[in-house]
Amino acid sequence: MSWNKVAVVGAGLIKMGELFDQSYEQMAAGAYGAAMSSVDKGRPEIDAAIVATQRGSLWGQEGIGGNTVPSALGLSGIPCTRVENACPSGSDAFRIGAMVVASGVHDVVLVIGVEKMRDKSTQEGLLARAAAGHPLYNRGETAPVLFAPFATRHMHEFGTTPEMLASVAVKNHHNGCLDPYAHFRNEITVEQVLSSPMVCSPLRLLDCCPQTDGAAAVILTSADRAHEFTDKPVYVAGFGVATDHPYLHEKSTYVGLPATTLASRRAYDMAGVGPDDIDMAEVHDCFTITEILDIEDLGFVEKGKGGPASLEGETALDGRIPVNPSGGLLAKGHPIGATGLAQITECFWQLREEAGERQVAIRNGVALQHNVGGRGSGVSVVNILTRNR
Amino acid sequence: MTSTLRPVGVVGVGAAAPNLRLSQSEVSRAWSAGGGRGVLAVCDADEDTLTLGWQAARRALDAAGVESGAVSGLWWGTTKPPFAEGPSHAFLAGALDLPSDIDGALCAGSPHAGMEALLSAWDALAAGHAEVALVVASDALVPGLGTAGEAATGAGASAVVLVALPGDSNGAGPPAQLVTRASRTMAVVDRTRGDDDPGTGDVYDPRLFREEVYLPLVAAAAEALGAQERWSLSDPDGKLASAAAKRLGGTLVSVGAHGAVGDAGAAAALLGAAGALGAPGSLGVIGYGGGRVTAVAVDVRRPVPGADDVGAALSGGQAVGYVGALKARGQLRPQTDPIPMGVPPGGAAFVRGNAEMLALEGARCAACGTISTPPSIHPHCINCGSTDLEVVRLARRGRVHTFVVNQTMPPPFQAPLPLVVLDLDDGARLMVQGISADAGALAVGDEVTLVLRRYALERGIPVYGYKAVRVDGGGGTAESASAGAGAEAASTR
């Protein structure tokens, strides 16, 4: 039996991209407005908010905290807390928001993710992590270094090929063309991926997600009150979080991410479903190899078969298990704190069959959302949503 | 008095050269000058006089069969230590895992420093203050751009292990013994670097230096030493040693090392003699620097362990152009500010962690055997959670489990940068950097050895740690062929 104590009654996001013309606060207001206007009936009064922002430092504006966002939304005064849990910050904020509502302390909770990736230059922003962490055992560890060793080993053990990796980027760019909110809305070919510059072998430029500014928001209330706001609520069926060691040399395997496996097992148990029940999934495809690891670790395909499954279209919009119909992080973008909530929004639309051209077939009424990240991919969050009460 | 002094023997020798090789002609062409057919060894961005000295010392200790814990003193000669003022000696001793109560000295200030280190060690052993001395001579000078010295300055290191002998020793004795010595000093200014100078500059005309300084001083010291069958001479410009050798008689043995690495400064005389310690006979070692010459006579009776490996230690290297050499030596840098290290070398984390980084320590779990690295951030075993942990030195060899080559990093990083996850021979797993020279050849299963390199020069402070270097031949194909179930089992701890 699904948990189903909490429902999503509204969800929305802003068009992702390099939003040099929008402030952090303006992006937040855009996502909040989109979520509020998506509510079918009435206008919910927000009792509390949780904001997910992973990188708390912008130019001269250190520590984006729990008080920044309510002020920007005209909600100053409400309780608000910032959640940071690496790349799953948004999905973890969602999970915490659901627990807050379920606790009965707050009735209507706004969970909002906002991230500025481009206000700092690439060198001072994303790439600067090469110098962060342990002076020896993390030195040189830019974001692709967290995943590329898994690609090397996956290729070594299972014969996964660069073409298989590329097929993930090709599929997600295709889906992105059908998503008006996606950062990239252009088709690419396997040949283009394979001829793009090497970023961190064996990952090339088009194996990597872009740096994207963005914001997304959802409105949660108790399952009992959901019909006050919509006739088509989407329920929180279950969730799971798991951690793993933070250093890359502490991994028990380099062909999978155990945090994902553990988090999904907890979420499946809580939701009372299994991988075969999932109609569609929004998973963490920061790099092409990550999606291949994800679909194996989440149980959609057998370990080692993620490459061929991707190449053969099993994860396409009309495939056996559609993965990342929104375009994923690779095409829609990865504004870190907003990413999980943008994925939840896509699941919300898909389960309500409002996704337009990229709508997938909903058979069981169950969708899965997943992030993994942090040092050594040491934290993963899985949320399972359902339209079945 | 002299009868109370103990004789001193040489029981091991080692040599090291940096990764890069620059043709002298590249330097000449850059400055529109003619000539230069030789080769200069140049430090890669992660090498310096300390890492070169470490490598030579490791090899000398291994050749001598002497454990780090048995060394009673470290005497290190280098013109310009990595810290102009600071803990250079302590860092090298720490990286060599020498006991904390060691004796010794850091000799610096001119290329004569290598000979000063040798004499100081000799004195300490002879006087009975030490039993086993490690003498390291290394240099990686940064020559001033466009100076005459630029087309001669190389880099390299040599180390010898000396032991005190019983005064009445007969029988086999050591493979080689220090016999006698002579020094000459003259207050002249030749090559100097002021506090504000980025590199070493020449003051004198080369002919003036040759005729009035180098040749007379070398001749005087050599005469005091007496005739030798072979000579190793430091050679600041590549032509001086042969000119001096003609006057001295005997064979000039230092041409080989000089041809391989150029002028190795404070290391030059010992490095030039290192290979010759492999053949019996008399050997005069003469080092010059800063207006001083010291000559030491060595009586080689049997091949000194390690001497046969000197040639291989100096050969190879990766060709680099002039611009590449300037970047590697830090003489050509982007105007962009380098990304600062998140954990600054001045912070407490380095006080807690520097020793375990220099000695490459892990924490072995008494309950399950898993090694968690490094100890200071692992109060609990990563596998079973036990707190019953023993600090151990990690193995220095292993195999590549997986790896990447990072091509995209901000300054001060230089691509290509391999990052390698290793299965060490003691069962520990470790991710460390590889070296740029291996970037194109790495494969899963490759055999690697760990060497000390400079991970960063952070706000002027060098940060040292170990990097994986591919052992010749790699061996990756063997495991590649057996990929599959076996490899998967190996990937699960």
Q: Per the structure, how many domains does chain A have? A: 1
pLDDT in tens, A16-64: 999 999 999 999 999 999 999 999 998 999 999 999 999 877 666 667 8
What does the pLDDT read at residue A59? 64
Which among A55, A72, A38 has a CA at the least distance from the CA of A212? A55
Percent pLDDT > 70 in chain A is 99
pTM, to two decimals: 0.93
Amino acid making up residue A163: E
Cβ atoms within 10 Å, residue B10? 25
Cβ atoms within 10 Å, residue A258? 18
Query: Does any domain span residue A164?
Result: no
What does the pLDDT read at residue A60? 64
- pLDDT band, residue A356 (cuts 50/70/90): very high
Rounded Cα–Cα distance for residues B320 and B39 (Å): 11
Which tokens in the block code for residue A169? 């980027």
What does the pLDDT read at residue B487? 35
Distance from CA of B325 to the nearest CA of A (A): 22
Q: Which of residues 422-451 of B touch A (CB under 8 A)?
A: 422, 429-433, 444
Angle among Cα B414, B419, B422 to the nearest 5 degrees reads: 155
Residues in A touching B410 (Cβ below 8 Å): 122-124, 127-128, 130-131
What does the pLDDT read at residue B477? 40
Which among A278, A275, A327, A274 has a CA at the least distance from the CA of A301? A275
Cβ distance of A132 and B342 shorter than 8 Å: yes
What does the pLDDT read at residue B154? 97
Rounded Cα–Cα distance for residues B153 and B325 (Å): 12
Q: Which of residues 304-363 of B touch A (CB under 8 A)?
A: 336, 339-343, 345, 349-350, 353, 357
Which tokens in the block code for residue A210? 């872009």
Query: Does any domain span residue A128?
Result: no
Domains present along chain B, CATH in parentheses: 2-328 (3.40.47.10), 343-393 (no CATH), 395-493 (2.40.50.840)
Determine contact, residues A295/A282, Cβ cutoff 8 Å: no
What does the pLDDT read at residue A126? 87
Rounded Cα–Cα distance for residues B252 and B228 (Å): 10
My answer on whether omega of the bond before B374 falls inside 30° of 0, hence cis, is yes
B135 Ramachandran zone, left/alpha/beta (phi>0; psi -120 to 50): beta
Cβ distance of B483 and A157 shorter than 8 Å: yes
Q: Which SS3 state, helix, strand or coil, does residue A23 take?
A: coil
Strand partners, B454: B464
Of the residues A106, A173, A183, A334, which is catalytic? A334
Mean pLDDT for A360-384 is 96
Rounded Cα–Cα distance for residues B270 and B304 (Å): 13
Residues in A touching B432 (Cβ below 8 Å): 136-137
What does the pLDDT read at residue B37? 84
Chain A contact present for B403, CB below 8 A:
yes
Rounded Cα–Cα distance for residues B125 and B92 (Å): 20
What does the pLDDT read at residue B480? 37
Sequence-distant (6+) residues with CB within 8 A of A370 are A91, A260, A263, A264, A281, A282, A283, A284, A294, A298, A343, A380, A381, A382, A383
Rounded Cα–Cα distance for residues B442 and B450 (Å): 15
Q: Which SS3 state, helix, strand or coil, does residue B142 take?
A: coil
What does the pLDDT read at residue A57? 73
Cβ distance of B456 and A145 shorter than 8 Å: no
Cβ distance of A135 and B357 shorter than 8 Å: yes
Mean pLDDT for A303-332 is 98
A247 Ramachandran zone, left/alpha/beta (phi>0; psi -120 to 50): beta
Q: Count of A–B CB contacts within 8 Å?
A: 139
Per-position pLDDT tens, chain B of length 493: 445 899 999 999 999 999 999 999 999 999 988 777 899 999 999 999 999 999 999 999 999 999 999 999 999 999 999 999 999 999 999 999 999 999 999 999 999 999 999 999 999 999 999 999 999 999 999 999 999 899 999 999 999 999 999 865 555 789 999 999 999 999 998 889 988 888 998 888 888 999 999 999 999 999 999 999 999 999 998 899 999 999 999 999 999 999 999 999 999 999 999 999 999 999 999 999 999 999 999 999 999 999 999 999 999 999 999 999 999 999 999 898 899 999 989 899 999 988 899 999 999 999 999 999 999 999 999 999 999 999 999 999 999 999 999 999 999 999 999 999 999 999 999 999 999 999 999 999 999 999 999 999 998 899 999 999 999 755 444 333 333 333 333 333 3
What does the pLDDT read at residue B167? 62
Residues in B touching A255 (Cβ below 8 Å): 488, 491
What does the pLDDT read at residue B484? 35
What does the pLDDT read at residue A22? 95
**Residue A374 is part of a domain; what is its CATH number?**
3.40.47.10
Percent pLDDT > 90 in chain A is 92
Q: Which SS3 state, helix, strand or coil, does residue B263 take?
A: strand
Range of the domain at A213: 6-122+209-386
Rounded Cα–Cα distance for residues A12 and A344 (Å): 9
Q: Out of A135, A153, A203, whose CB is closest to B343?
A: A135
Rounded Cα–Cα distance for residues A36 and A44 (Å): 8
Q: Which SS3 state, helix, strand or coil, does residue B7 take?
A: coil
Query: Does any domain span residue A32?
Result: yes
pLDDT in tens, A117-146: 999 888 888 899 999 999 999 999 999 999
Which among B4, B51, B112 has a CA at the least distance from the CA of B358? B51
Residue A87 annotated as catalytic: yes
CB-neighbour burial class of residue B397 (10 A; exposed 0-12, middle 13-18, buried 19+):
middle
What does the pLDDT read at residue B472? 77
Mean pLDDT for A91-114 is 98
Determine contact, residues B338/B344, Cβ cutoff 8 Å: no
Residue A334 annotated as catalytic: yes
Res A299 pLDDT > 50: yes
What does the pLDDT read at residue B169? 54
Q: Which SS3 state, helix, strand or coil, does residue B58 take?
A: helix
